[in-house]
Structure 1
Amino acid sequence: MSGERDEWEELVSAALLGTDRRPLPPGDGTAGPGTAEEVLERAAVHTVRTRAGRRLGRGVPLPRAAADPRPPVSPRAAELLAEHILDGGHGARLPEWLELAAASGRRLPPHLLPPVLDRAEREPWLREHAAVLAGPRGRWLAEHVEPRWAFLRQEATGVAGEDAWRYGTAGDRRRFLRGLRGRDPEAARRLLAAAWPREAPGDRAAFIQTFETGLSDDDEPFLEAALDDRHREVRQKAADLLLRLPRSRLAARMAERGAPCLSRDGNRLVAVPPRECDEAAQRDGVRAVPPRGTEPRAWWLRQMIARTPLSVWTRKFHATPEEIVRWRIADHRGEVVMGWVRAAMMQRDPDWALALFPLEPMAELLAILPPRRRDAVAVAFLQANGAAEKAVDVLGGLTSGWSRRLTLAVAEILARDVHGPPWGHARLARLLGARGDPDLHEQVRRVSTARPVQEAADVLRFRGEMRKELS
Structure 2
Amino acid sequence: MTSTSLWEELVTSALLGTDRRTPPPEAVTPGKDAPTALLDAAALHTVRRRAGLLPAPAAARPEPAPHDARPQLPAPARRRLAQLLTDRSAPSAGGRRGTAPDLTELLPQWLAAANAHEYQAPPSVLPALLDAARARTDLRPQALTFAGPRGLWLARLNPEWKFALRGASGSATLPDVGDPEAVQRLWDEGLFAERVALLAAVRERDAGTALALLAATWSTERAEDRLMFLDSLRTGLTDADEPFLEQALSDRSRNVRATAAELLSALPHSALAGRMAARAASCVSLDRGEGTTGIGVEAPHECDADMQRDGVMPNPPSGRGERSWWLGQLVEAAPLSTWPGRFGGRTAAEIVALPVADGWGDELHAAWCRAAVRQRDAEWSRALLGAPGTPPETSPGTTSLAERAKLLATLPEGERAGWVAEFIAAHGLSEAFQLLGVCAVPWAEPLGRAVVDALDIARDAGSYPWSFSGVMGLAERCLNPGEASRLEILTTTPPETEGASPGAGGYWSEAFQRLVSTLRLRATMAVELR
Query: Could you say which TM-score interval applies, normalised by the shorter chain?
Result: 0.7 to 0.9
Query: 2-side partners of 1:234 and 1:454: how far apart?
Result: 50
Letter in 2 for 1:383: A
| TM-fit CA distance, 1:444 | 4.2
Letter in 2 for 1:272: E
Bigger relative contact order (CA 8 A; separation at least 6): 2
Query: 2-side partners of 1:174 and 1:196: how far apart?
Result: 13
Aligned to 1:384: 426
Residues 273 and 49 of structure 1: is their aligned pair in 2 closer, same or farther, counting only changes over 3 Å? same
Query: 1-side partners of 2:332 and 2:463: how far apart?
Result: 36
Query: 2-side partners of 1:60 and 1:373: how far apart?
Result: 60
Letter in 1 for 2:376: R
| TM-fit CA distance, 1:342 | 0.9
Query: 1-side partners of 2:316 and 2:528: how far apart?
Result: 50
| TM-fit CA distance, 1:46 | 4.1
Match of 2:122 among 100, 109, 114: 109
Aligned to 2:525: 466
Letter in 2 for 1:267: T
Residues 57 and 221 of structure 1: is their aligned pair in 2 closer, same or farther, counting only changes over 3 Å? closer
Deviations 1:202-235 (A, max 9, x none): 2222222222222222222222222122222222
Runs of 4+ in structure 1 deviating by more than 6 angstroms, as ranges, are: 22-25, 32-35
Query: 2-side partners of 1:322 and 1:258: how far apart?
Result: 19
**Rg larger for:** 2
Residues 224 and 467 of structure 1: is their aligned pair in 2 closer, same or farther, counting only changes over 3 Å? farther
Contact 1:415–1:453 (Cα < 8 Å) also in 2 = no
Aligned to 1:131: 144
| TM-fit CA distance, 1:60 | 3.8
Give the TM-score taking structure 2 as reference length: 0.77
SS in 2 for 1:223: helix
| TM-fit CA distance, 1:398 | 4.2
SS in 1 for 2:285: strand
Contact 1:438–1:463 (Cα < 8 Å) also in 2 = yes
Letter in 2 for 1:460: L
Matches within 5 A, 1:307-326: 307-318=333-344, 319-326=346-353
Aligned to 1:166: 185
Query: 2-side partners of 1:459 and 1:187: how far apart?
Result: 47
| TM-fit CA distance, 1:54 | 3.4
1:257 aligns with 2:294: no
Aligned to 2:7: 4
Aligned to 2:218: 196
Aligned to 2:162: 150
| TM-fit CA distance, 1:416 | 1.6
Query: 2-side partners of 1:200 and 1:439: how far apart?
Result: 50
Query: 1-side partners of 2:333 and 2:41: how far apart?
Result: 76
Match of 1:425 among 468, 471, 477: 468
Residues 348 and 136 of structure 1: is their aligned pair in 2 closer, same or farther, counting only changes over 3 Å? closer
Pairs aligned (count) = 458
Deviations 1:132-168 (A, max 9, x none): 3334443443333x21112333323322324356323
**More displaced 10-residue stretch of structure 1: 62-71 or 351-360:** 62-71
Matches within 5 A, 1:16-35: none
| TM-fit CA distance, 1:426 | 0.7
| TM-fit CA distance, 1:428 | 0.3
Aligned to 1:285: 311
Contact 1:263–1:270 (Cα < 8 Å) also in 2 = yes
Query: 2-side partners of 1:96 and 1:333: how far apart?
Result: 41
Contact 1:414–1:453 (Cα < 8 Å) also in 2 = no
**More displaced 10-residue stretch of structure 1: 199-208 or 339-348:** 199-208
Give the TM-score taking structure 1 as reference length: 0.86
| TM-fit CA distance, 1:448 | 6.1
Contact 1:108–1:134 (Cα < 8 Å) also in 2 = yes
Residues 366 and 135 of structure 1: is their aligned pair in 2 closer, same or farther, counting only changes over 3 Å? closer
Matches within 5 A, 1:202-351: 202-265=224-287, 266-318=292-344, 319-330=346-357, 331-351=359-379
Residues 247 and 444 of structure 1: is their aligned pair in 2 closer, same or farther, counting only changes over 3 Å? farther
1:75 aligns with 2:75: yes
Q: Give unpaired runs (5+ residues) of structure 2.
A: 90-102, 387-397, 493-507
Aligned to 1:457: 516
SS in 2 for 1:66: coil
SS in 1 for 2:486: helix
Query: 2-side partners of 1:44 and 1:297: how far apart?
Result: 79
SS in 2 for 1:390: coil
Deviations 1:53-81 (A, max 9, x none): 33444534523422424454233222222
Query: 1-side partners of 2:373 and 2:304: how far apart?
Result: 25
| TM-fit CA distance, 1:245 | 1.6
Letter in 2 for 1:281: M
Aligned-residue identity in percent: 36
Letter in 1 for 2:337: S
Contact 1:68–1:135 (Cα < 8 Å) also in 2 = no
| TM-fit CA distance, 1:341 | 1.1
Residues 267 and 80 of structure 1: is their aligned pair in 2 closer, same or farther, counting only changes over 3 Å? farther
Query: 1-side partners of 2:59 and 2:201: how far apart?
Result: 41
Letter in 1 for 2:119: R
Residues 142 and 332 of structure 1: is their aligned pair in 2 closer, same or farther, counting only changes over 3 Å? same
Aligned to 1:356: 384
Contact 1:402–1:435 (Cα < 8 Å) also in 2 = yes
Q: Give unpaired runs (5+ residues) of structure 1.
A: none
SS in 2 for 1:328: coil
Query: 2-side partners of 1:224 and 1:86: how far apart?
Result: 50
1:59 aligns with 2:47: no
Aligned to 1:411: 452
Residues 447 and 310 of structure 1: is their aligned pair in 2 closer, same or farther, counting only changes over 3 Å? farther
